[in-house]
Amino acid sequence: MEPIQTQNPNPSQPRPMLEFGESLSICWMKYADFKGRARRSEYWWWCLLCFIICTVTRFIDQILSLGHIVTMIAWLILVIPSMAVGTRRLHDTGRSGWWIVAEFVMAVIMWIMVFSVESLVYYSSAIWIILYYIVVLLTFFVCFVILYFSVLDSHKGENQYGPSPKYQ
54 vs 71: CA distance, rounded Å: 6
pLDDT score for 108: 86
pLDDT range class, residue 118, cuts 50, 70, 90: low
For residues 59-72, one letter each, b for 16 or more C-beta atoms within 10 angstroms of the residue's C-beta and e for the rest, the string is eebeeeeeeeebbe
Query: Average of pLDDT values for 4-31?
Result: 74
| SS3 at position 37 | coil
* Domain layout of the chain by residue ranges: 20-151
Query: Average of pLDDT values for 87-98?
Result: 94
Note the residue count of the chain: 168
Average pLDDT, the chain: 85
Query: Average of pLDDT values for 119-148?
Result: 81
Q: Which residues 6+ apart lie within 8 Å of 14 measured at CB?
A: 154, 166, 167
pTM here?
0.80
pLDDT score for 37: 93
* pLDDT greater than 80 at residue 124: no
* pLDDT greater than 60 at residue 130: yes
DSSP letters, 112-152, are HHHH-HHHHHHTTSHHHHHHHHHHHHHHHHHHHHHHHHHHS
* pLDDT greater than 70 at residue 121: no
pLDDT range class, residue 120, cuts 50, 70, 90: low
| SS3 at position 159 | strand
63 vs 71: CA distance, rounded Å: 13
> 35, 13 in Cβ contact below 8 A?
no
pLDDT score for 7: 56
In eight-state DSSP terms, residue 17 is P
